[in-house]
Amino acid sequence: MRKILIVPVLAGGLALAAAGCEVGKTVSSGTVEKQIDARFGPMYQSAGLGPAKASCPDDLKGKVGATLDCTVRDGKGGSHRLTVTVTSVKGSEVHFTMRAAS
C-alpha cells in the first residue's frame, strides 16, 4: 500500500507528491532515485526543465527520522538538493517524504 503526501519542493510554487515503500528495513538508493525521477519527471517536463535525474549517495535506513540528501538534475543543467526523510516504518514497509534541502 502506498501513502501519498503533498509537500512543498522547489521555488516557484512546485509541489511534490511523494511517498515510498519497500520490503525490508532499508530502501536502496536506486529505489529512492526512481521514486524521485517518477515524481519530478512530469513536473520538470511541464515547467520546461526537461527530464529529471536523481542521484542519492547511499541507501535510506528504515528508521523513523532517518534522512538522506539527494540531488535532482534537470535537463537544462540545473541541480536541486532534496532531503528524503523516513516518516514511518510499518512492518516491512518504509514510508518517506521528500522536500527541498535547507
Instruction: Please check whether residue 84 is in contact with residue 68, taking contact to mean a CB–CB distance below 8 angstroms.
Output: yes
Q: pLDDT band for position 101 (50/70/90)? A: confident
Considering only residues 19 and 40, tell me which one the structure prediction assigns the higher pLDDT.
40
Burial 68-89 (b: 16+ CB within 10 A, else e): bebbbbbeeeeebebebbbeeb
Would you say the C-alpha torsion 60, 65, 6, 25 has a positive or negative sign?
positive
Instruction: Specify the residue for cell string 540528501.
Output: 69
Q: What is the pLDDT of residues 87-97, one digit of tens each?
A: 999 988 899 99
